[in-house]
Structure 1
Amino acid sequence: MIYKHLFLTAILFLGTFVNGHTGNYTKSGNTVTVNVESPGERGAKTVRLQVIGDKIVRVEATPETSFPEKQSLIVVPQKANTRFTVTQQGDDITVSTRQVRAVVSSRTGHVAFYDADGRLLLGETARDGKTFRPFTVPERETGTGTLTDGQRNGWTWHMQFDSPADEAFYGLGQHQAEELNMKGRNEELFQYNTKVSVPMVLSNRGYGLLWDSYSYCRFGNPDDYMQLHRAFRLYDRDGQPGSLTGTYTDKNGRVIVRGEDSIYFEHAVPEVNPLHKQDLGIYALPKGFNLDGAHVTYEGYIEAPADGDYHFLLYYAGYMTVYADGREVVPERWRTAWNPNAWKFRCPLKAGRRTPIRIEWRPDGGVSYCGLRVATPRTAEEQGRLSIWSEMNRYMDYYFIAGPSMDEIVSGYRTLTGKASVYPKWTLGYWQSRERYKSSDEVEKTMEEFRRRHIPVDNIVQDWNYWKLDSWGDHTFEPSRYPNPQAMLDSVHAMHGRFMISVWPKFYDTVDNYKELDAKGWMYGQAIKDDIHDWLGFRGSFYDAYDAGARRMFWRQMDENLYSKYNYGIDSWWMDASEPNVRDCTPMWYRKALCGPTALGSSTEFFNAYSIVNADAIYNGQRSVRPNTRVFLLTRSGFAGEQRYSTATWSGDIGTRWEDMRSQMTAGLNYSISGLPFWGMDQGGFSVENRYVAAQKIFDKSGLESEDLKEWRELQTRWNQFGCFIPLYRAHGQWPLREPWNIAPDNHPAYKTIVWYDRLRYHMMPYMYSMAGWVHFSDYTMMRPLVMDFNGDDRVLDIKDQWMFGPSLMACPVGYYKMRSREVYLPKQCGWYDLYTGKYLDGGRTITASAPYERMPVFVPEGAILPFGPAMEWSDEKPAELINLYVYAGRDGSFRLYEDEGTNYNYEKGRYATIDITYDDNAHTITVGRRKGSFDGMLKNRRFNVVLVSKDNARKLDLDSPQGTMVNYTGKEVKVKIGSPL
């Protein structure tokens, strides 16, 4: 019987590689195409499955009878060598690998996915599981106000899948609404300053979806948010129907009262074609009203047409608070006037009941924005589905990735989109930045002060406007402020620093680089046509990074003016405004007009992918010049696949408020789990409230620490604690200055604490750089939502302010002013230790953790192995000849130490070393395994000082000279008893 079984199996597998038509499907290579018999009015006529691997199946669908050619920007070429079988039973066609089954109905086109045991992982809704509408790109994107010549350019599609109530969703990139579990929530997916959209979602039920779409998308509700008068019956404050009451009071006491049927003052209206006024709804603030110093109130009643939990979208600049039904539903929030933010909230409403609403707005500047819209109501079942809408595509195209662990899903994503590089070692150190260093003298003196104070630092960042004011895009230093750039770079390097420089894909139309690109048709022309000037008063635009020739020219201009010109003294690139952000605060249609048309097609179709093609330009450009020097890019936007270009993302020009700090926690977690491993933020926030600016000026004059300055310093302290436990550790922002000594004097707890965590970061270098190696070789994720490691504990599904930084550290930042303790949930799968005291705590419970000014809570799981290296002032100051190896008893544990040369690509040639370290809890034995591999400069002999921490033997964290068991290591396996069983 066994031979018969093997024979039949072989026949089935052989069928994988035989092309042909069987029943209702056609098989060709690794694809199976189904012609749908009854697709419905808006359904798919053709569905195609492509087997990528045992756990990955691509699904393509179209309302046409064939698929157009497509070259993906995010998915790299795949090897089609996975064995699979195809069977048909009735209408159902099943494609099976060893790990997953995809089932397509030949009658309806319905698609469902099962694991190898037959458990349903994901299935389309029975009705309207996938729908299509024709989409024609309007020429209004170029300002003409007419449509193209009747040509359909693509399809708007919507796919939705059933989802059980206990499912949780993560990913989608980086957003600012302090949301982690996206189940039942809505998110608009587009790129903007502080917002990074990635077409990837992961489920706690063992799968992920990556959709290959570059256009504007929506997760959750597929409909656009509505103006208030379209969703509700409105009443003013006196109960009269038709509008809310808007009361505008300027700083001189002048009052204007008028009815407002919508709160939609969200855009700087472009002074172009009046036909576009309809796109804006002609919502304008009172003419001639001075917002600076004003107070605005919108109040009255809203009456819902049906019972429901209504999803609101608040858009705000300045200070804003919202009250509904007598309660504060949005506590005061602030954003600087030129960079508004969106915040989401939900409010239960009853049909036919007048619910009082009041919006308090204090604009913060002469130009400001506000808005309040609401999503179309959906039933709880509809809102809970996995729903994705995409504005324009040539067809529907997505990849189903089976788990079962989230690490395996992320690995599948990187199989599709490309391996992450091993990022340069120095990038894990401390970065100092500000907006902005204005001369080479400031750069050099700042580095000198770090070294004089023995504060660790690796990277200093030159932000924008080092060029002559009217010469944006010429990539040159203004001689009066930077008289000898080469000497500046040499000085930074002589102090063992690295230098990062800001380069925008933006050019004023007067510079030679613009003219060279424009002569080839590689500059976006709408901003020039409309005579748009930036905040400095000059006119310019962005280059078309979708053109391969433009990318090569862009890099050549950078190389000739910056990289090769200064003997490769620039170590990394800060790619700002890579959304691209041609102009702030414009409506979506006008943003598209300003960003295209692209070389590949309309900006509608390619709206979200600019940053990845721009990253391609720099990564491949630099490697063409110096192929063995690691590239590193920091970009303000990001997209699926960008990790293969050694690119990290930061969260943009965020505000300096406690709520902004909290929002970065969920922003970084969902960005990281989306598959992109390196993320950071402007530590301390970028845009500063006026009260903090005033407080710093008072201190500089009188030495008085006002209440606002106390809060500022505590905010900076807590934010620096937070920053120690994410992939990139970088301080940046507008004035007041962000160097530790400029935040507070040497004897202040803020200064002492910031420096302590900076030094801790460098002690963690062996731990962090090992993770950087795992990111490349094992598709690891450094900043990990708790669900990645503790899935199965329902209490971790939506914990927004705790995460694992690698396998051994659970970071629990403090996100509120004057908070000196906080609640921490300890997942149930293991016991936990306090990092600082070594005290043991049982898991599966919520504790009140001490959080003095000087420390944020950090916990270590049982079985953790945590390597601490020597004190250092820069990342490669000295080799880790002695590693203090903290081992936390209670479970078996393991750790793989990774090392290489730190700044080159020799690891791609196999020149790196790993040491596997394991801990046997029953025997209390540590095994330092045989070293595998080698590289130039490798330590052949070293010491491990093993420090055992257990329930009965709490050990305080000692970073300098802890007492332990010394292991002399020569590269051969060493096994050491480090204690007796408890």
Structure 2
Amino acid sequence: MKTFRFVGLALLLCSSGLSVAQEVSRTAHGVKLEVPGEKFSCEVQFYTPSIVRVVKYPQATMPEEKSLAVVLSPTEDIKFKVNETDDAVILKSAAVTVTLDKQEGTLSFADLQGNALLTEQGEPSFKPYQEGADKGYYRVCQAFRLDKDEAIYGLGQLQTGKMSQRNQQKYLIQSNLEDSSPFFQSVKGYGLYWDNYSPVTFTDNADGTSFDFEVGTCVDYYFMYGGNADGVIADMRELTGQVPMFPLWTYGFWQSKERYKSQDEVVGVVGKYRELGVPLDGIIQDWQYWGHNYLWNAMDFTNPLFPDPQKMLDDVHGMNAHMAISIWSSFGPATKPYRELASKDLLYDFKTWPASGTEGWPPDPEYPSGVKVYDAYSPEARDIYWKYLNDGIFKYGMDAWWMDSTDPDHLDFKPGDLDQKTYLGTFRKVRNAYPLMCVGGVYDHQRATTSDKRVFILTRSGFVGQQRYGANVWSGDVGSSWENLRKQVPAGLNFSLCGMPHWNNDIGGFFAGQYNKSWNDGTAPKNPLYQELFVRWMQFGTFTPMMRSHGADTPREIYQFGKKGELVYDAIEKMIRLRYTLLPYIYSTSWEVSHRQSTFMRALVMDFPADKQVWDMSDEYMFGKAFLVAPVLEAQYTPETVLKVDEQSGWNRDNAGKAGDETGTFDFTQKKSAPVYLPEGTVWYDFWTNEKLDGGQEFARETTLDLIPLYIKAGSIVPLGPDVQYATEKPWDVLTLCVYPGADGDFTLYEDEFDNYNYEKGAYTEIPMTWDEASRRLTIGARKGSYPGMLESRKFIVRTPDGKEKTVNYTGKKLTVKL
């Protein structure tokens, strides 16, 4: 590395009274310090004015390994100043000040006004592995000092129910229910990402905040100062990758269950929705379309109940719906992919799902499945994976992938399992990046195959950077309980605060067994206890980036819950229709996510950081920048059963039939109430009644079974679309623009061809809209851009909460509406 000496020698007194020479050198992007006593070297590198990389290493030279998550390289022309005192080196860019202590090698970060942001606490710890599979590496730890009342967010998606991640010790390793990323951001407007993929213990207590990684070569973290949560997310995406656009249809309603057992059943479900006139855009085929478990994930329709996959896809497409299909990170020993991967030593030798080769429950240990996970870190293995996926399924016109077990499943875990060799070293060394690699392999290969169909991947696990791979992560096989519903809100918000905006969960919970009299007798939709939970979960799911009903033990289709005119059925249909009405708002928000680094599910602290009431609020959030969502998360009509269930006990069905008495009489027509807090600093409108309310207050909102409390922030402009059966059934030639006065506001209506990558070449339109509160004027600006087949003209119905309404014809030229 080329260095430039800019400082002489500084003399420091050691305990022995001897002088020690310090050496500080200027590098192309920062400085390098050799800490006295030959303890370690420290390099500080500016990647952008607001993103700083810190590397500390005990070796003679800095380790150089290609990052799996980071895609950004340091910019050559970053301007920063370097000053040196006897005790410290001070680096200042246009965004942040970094102070490096020359004696201890510790760093502190501040904004340009000198306000302290984050400080390292003590020296790093490097504990070398003297033997074993990771010999030559270190266990690495670095601690930091946070303010006592400082709230932090992130760490991936956890099932702890916590919003702020303070005051806990948490072992972070990928699993069915939890997605781990060594990242957090602070209410002070900075973020910290550690570029390490091994399991890690995160600790926050009175002694400090630390990441203790099981294996690594060095301390290697990125400090980013965005000024606020959106700025941190923008830095994180610049560092680890931007978000591609999803097809419009992916934001419609999805139906699924464990599992449709024939292609006739799949097609029949879509047909039933069309017959009932209930909107639907996606149907998902879960596992075993390949047959028995020895053929696990064969990527072929070897099950005789799926005799003509091309006809199945054609039938689904003929009803203007789309289909996703389950694929896994593992293969049964009788499959073609297994045999090719095994011949190249690209399979791992630890126990994974399913345990037995025979169908039925419980698993028969006399007939082990022999299923093995593949080495997704290997480029050759990823090529093989796509070859069979392309030849066996994609060729039929499959629209999307449901990549299950991307954690991957790891049964009967033994510490030695992490000694497995991968293409990139031991499994321990790269464990948490497994979902990033296997999901990225499918995305990259499909993008190389065609640009006519946008990649859409529903997957069970995520790691920072995965947002660049067209992935929507769901929260795993959560049990059907009110407690688990409550946990999903902070789980999705913290995941989003890591820079990964597409998240969803199984509406109704995956394991509904406790609401059935016995396993899989399908009684849950008739059980009032489950009906109430499902309706409230559906209302929450309406305001997540993917609205998907799915689960085991019982069917989840709307018609299983009754029929039109019945309260539960109507409550479910009401939310599905609302979702489709909001598609212009949702799709335009998607563009804000991709183009301007925004976020769908926004913790209230993102938009109201000055209101300390919301710093640790885990039961409300913004959906886009207009809607405040306050889902009903407690039972109001039925007993709230408490159930402890994880993915293993759920699969064992130990909890079937323990939900309580479902034969009681419950009156769903009664009016109830739910607590709501409206953040201070703005005016709010009740979405359902248009009642105007001041922020900074908590109150009880009257609710009914079919009503979720929703509020719109003053200054918002919300476009409402047509009544449709699927997302693209009707053009947006007549849109209602709901304008909520009380503050200035703006919105950009975005449109493109909805399902290809031509938008990357500029084939899209933006229609900017601004509301001026003082003059009560809505300005609809000149249309920007164009694409084939775009609407040349349309009608806008402009409406305010007080009932005022005007209809205007828009031809792409600027116009103003006075209200």
Q: How does 1:184-583 map to 2 (within 5 A)?
A: 184-220=167-203, 381-382=206-207, 385-469=208-292, 470-527=294-351, 535=363, 537-564=368-395, 566=396, 569-583=397-411
Asked if 1 retains the 8 angstrom alpha-carbon contact of 2:558 and 2:572, the reply is yes
Which residue is equivalent to 1:811?
Answer: 629
Which residue is equivalent to 2:418?
Answer: 592
Q: Separation in 1 of the partners of 2:545 and 2:622?
A: 12
Which residue is equivalent to 1:777?
Answer: 595
Residue 515 (structure 1) shift: 0.7
Q: Separation in 2 of the partners of 1:587 and 1:619?
A: 29
Which residue is equivalent to 2:463?
Answer: 639
Asked if 2 retains the 8 angstrom alpha-carbon contact of 1:473 and 1:514, the reply is no
| Aligned-partner SS, 1:411 | helix
Structure 1 gaps, min length 5: 1-16, 139-146, 222-379, 956-962
Which residue is equivalent to 2:644?
Answer: none
Which residue is equivalent to 1:355?
Answer: none
Residue 851 (structure 1) shift: 1.8
Q: Separation in 2 of the partners of 1:46 and 1:662?
A: 46
783-792 vs 80-89, greater mean Cα deviation: 80-89
Structure 2 gaps, min length 5: 9-22, 638-671
| Aligned-partner SS, 1:608 | helix
Residue 132 (structure 1) shift: 2.0
Q: Give the letter aligned to residue 193 of structure 1.
A: N
Asked if 2 retains the 8 angstrom alpha-carbon contact of 1:582 and 1:591, the reply is no
Q: Give the letter aligned to residue 511 of structure 1.
A: T
1:88 alignment partner, one of 79, 84, 87: 84
Asked if 1 retains the 8 angstrom alpha-carbon contact of 2:197 and 2:433, the reply is yes
1:627 alignment partner, one of 442, 446, 451: 451
Residue 105 (structure 1) shift: 1.1
Which residue is equivalent to 2:559?
Answer: 741
Which residue is equivalent to 2:27?
Answer: 28
Which residue is equivalent to 2:653?
Answer: none
Structure 1 residues 972 and 439, CA, compared in 2 at 3 Å: closer, same or farther? same
Q: Separation in 1 of the partners of 2:519 and 2:291?
A: 32
Which residue is equivalent to 1:609?
Answer: 433
Q: Separation in 2 of the partners of 1:88 and 1:626?
A: 54
Which residue is equivalent to 1:337?
Answer: none
Asked if 1 retains the 8 angstrom alpha-carbon contact of 2:611 and 2:679, the reply is yes
Residue 135 (structure 1) shift: 3.0
Asked if 1 retains the 8 angstrom alpha-carbon contact of 2:159 and 2:488, the reply is yes
Asked if 1 retains the 8 angstrom alpha-carbon contact of 2:515 and 2:530, the reply is no
Which residue is equivalent to 2:659?
Answer: none
User: 1:588-621 deviations in whole A, cap 9, x for unaligned?
Assistant: 515525xx31111011111101111101210111
Q: Separation in 1 of the partners of 2:558 and 2:170?
A: 37
Match status 1:152 vs 2:132: no
Which residue is equivalent to 2:648?
Answer: none
Which residue is equivalent to 1:60?
Answer: 55
User: 1:354-406 deviations in whole A, cap 9, x for unaligned?
Assistant: xxxxxxxxxxxxxxxxxxxxxxxxxx622xx3322211111110000102111
Residue 526 (structure 1) shift: 4.3
| Aligned-partner SS, 1:609 | helix
Q: Separation in 2 of the partners of 1:29 and 1:468?
A: 58
Structure 1 residues 690 and 122, CA, compared in 2 at 3 Å: closer, same or farther? closer
Residue 831 (structure 1) shift: 1.3
Q: TM-score, normalised by structure 2?
A: 0.90
Q: Separation in 1 of the partners of 2:355 and 2:160?
A: 35
Asked if 1 retains the 8 angstrom alpha-carbon contact of 2:128 and 2:139, the reply is yes
Asked if 2 retains the 8 angstrom alpha-carbon contact of 1:431 and 1:461, the reply is yes
Which residue is equivalent to 1:177?
Answer: 160
Asked if 2 retains the 8 angstrom alpha-carbon contact of 1:199 and 1:213, the reply is yes
Q: Separation in 2 of the partners of 1:597 and 1:795?
A: 48
Residue 500 (structure 1) shift: 0.1
Structure 1 residues 723 and 46, CA, compared in 2 at 3 Å: closer, same or farther? same
Residue 816 (structure 1) shift: 1.2
User: 1:702-725 deviations in whole A, cap 9, x for unaligned?
Assistant: x9x6xxx11111111111011001
Q: Give the letter aligned to residue 31 of structure 2.
A: V
Residue 416 (structure 1) shift: 0.3
Residue 479 (structure 1) shift: 4.7
Q: Separation in 2 of the partners of 1:517 and 1:698?
A: 39
Q: Separation in 2 of the partners of 1:87 and 1:817?
A: 61
Match status 1:669 vs 2:510: no
Match status 1:130 vs 2:124: yes
2:148 alignment partner, one of 165, 169, 193: 165
Q: How does 1:906-925 map to 2 (within 5 A)?
A: 906-925=758-777
Q: Separation in 2 of the partners of 1:796 and 1:759?
A: 30
Residue 539 (structure 1) shift: 1.3
Q: Separation in 2 of the partners of 1:941 and 1:681?
A: 38
Which residue is equivalent to 1:271?
Answer: none
Which residue is equivalent to 1:755?
Answer: 573
1:895 alignment partner, one of 731, 738, 747: 747
Structure 1 residues 531 and 686, CA, compared in 2 at 3 Å: closer, same or farther? closer
User: 1:957-982 deviations in whole A, cap 9, x for unaligned?
Assistant: xxxxxx6111211111111101xxxx
Which residue is equivalent to 1:14?
Answer: none
Residue 693 (structure 1) shift: 4.4
Q: Separation in 2 of the partners of 1:510 and 1:381?
A: 54
Residue 187 (structure 1) shift: 2.2
1:109 alignment partner, one of 101, 105, 109: 105
Structure 1 residues 133 and 931, CA, compared in 2 at 3 Å: closer, same or farther? same
Q: Separation in 1 of the partners of 2:562 and 2:593?
A: 36
Aligned pair count reads 761
Asked if 1 retains the 8 angstrom alpha-carbon contact of 2:253 and 2:279, the reply is yes
Residue 699 (structure 1) shift: 6.0
Q: Separation in 1 of the partners of 2:504 and 2:73?
A: 30
Residue 936 (structure 1) shift: 1.2
Q: Separation in 2 of the partners of 1:632 and 1:647?
A: 6
Q: Separation in 1 of the partners of 2:285 and 2:523?
A: 27
Asked if 2 retains the 8 angstrom alpha-carbon contact of 1:693 and 1:735, the reply is no
| Aligned-partner SS, 2:432 | coil
Q: Separation in 1 of the partners of 2:182 and 2:50?
A: 19
Match status 1:848 vs 2:700: yes
Match status 1:728 vs 2:546: yes
Q: TM-score, normalised by structure 1?
A: 0.75
Structure 1 residues 698 and 494, CA, compared in 2 at 3 Å: closer, same or farther? closer
Asked if 1 retains the 8 angstrom alpha-carbon contact of 2:29 and 2:74, the reply is no
Asked if 2 retains the 8 angstrom alpha-carbon contact of 1:50 and 1:59, the reply is yes
Q: Give the letter aligned to residue 506 of structure 1.
A: S
Q: Separation in 2 of the partners of 1:693 and 1:665?
A: 29
User: 1:169-196 deviations in whole A, cap 9, x for unaligned?
Assistant: 0011111111001122222211000110
User: 1:631-682 deviations in whole A, cap 9, x for unaligned?
Assistant: 1111111001001111110001000011011111111010011110100001
Q: Which has the larger radius of gyration?
A: 1
Asked if 2 retains the 8 angstrom alpha-carbon contact of 1:928 and 1:975, the reply is yes
Q: Separation in 2 of the partners of 1:612 and 1:970?
A: 44
Q: Separation in 2 of the partners of 1:695 and 1:212?
A: 44
Q: Separation in 2 of the partners of 1:441 and 1:207?
A: 52
Structure 1 residues 839 and 454, CA, compared in 2 at 3 Å: closer, same or farther? same
Residue 480 (structure 1) shift: 1.9
